[in-house]
Amino acid sequence: MDSQPDFSKLFLEYFAQIGPRVSYVLRRPPNIVHDGVFLSSLIHDARVVPSKCRRDGDTFTMLIDRDKWEEYRSEEGNLDSCPSSLVVTAVENVEWSPQTDPDEELWIDYLWIDESFRYHNGETFGVILAGDGWRLIITVRTDDVTLKLEDE
């Protein structure tokens, strides 16, 4: 193979079509793992304060301040941010590790779908967000989970 697909090009071209506000919903399996890579890129370096996260029944909502990487061009040097929400449904459990100061601002490095989704075909799997020294594991029901990022 002479060349690889250019993820940055795909990411920037797709999200340039959407406009100034992103609304991105992960598709059902098997696409959820691939869509998770794009979602992880959209929320990379987002800031979250645990006390601003809410669980209402089986819905978990994170209010985040998201850098708009989809609009960033290195030659221009501007990186804007916007308030957004990440909403996860079909939630069975939410676990911060280690327990953090609820008012501490945390930076999100990555989001991924844990390997149990692919290898164990169970009733639940983990949606994991992680940053420097912390991890959030959101256990969700496989059959009816949704993950949605919505800019305000």
pLDDT at 146 over 80: yes
Instruction: Name which residue leads in pLDDT, 143 or 59.
Output: 59
pLDDT single digits (tens) 20-65:
889 999 988 778 888 999 999 999 999 999 999 999 999 999 999 9
pTM score: 0.89
What pLDDT, on a 0 to 100 scale, did the predictor assign at position 41?
93
- Which amino acid is it at 39? L
Task: Compute the mean pLDDT over every residue in the chain, rounded to the nearest whole number.
Answer: 90
Contact by Cβ (8 Å): 109, 44 = yes
Q: Which tokens hold the place of 33?
A: 């793992």
Q: Which tokens hold the place of 29?
A: 């399996």
Contacts of 74 (CB under 8 A, 6+ apart): none
pLDDT at 118 over 90: no
pLDDT at 1 over 70: no
Share of the chain above pLDDT 90, in %: 62
Q: Which helix (DSSP H) or strand (DSSP E) does residue 54 occupy?
A: strand 47-56
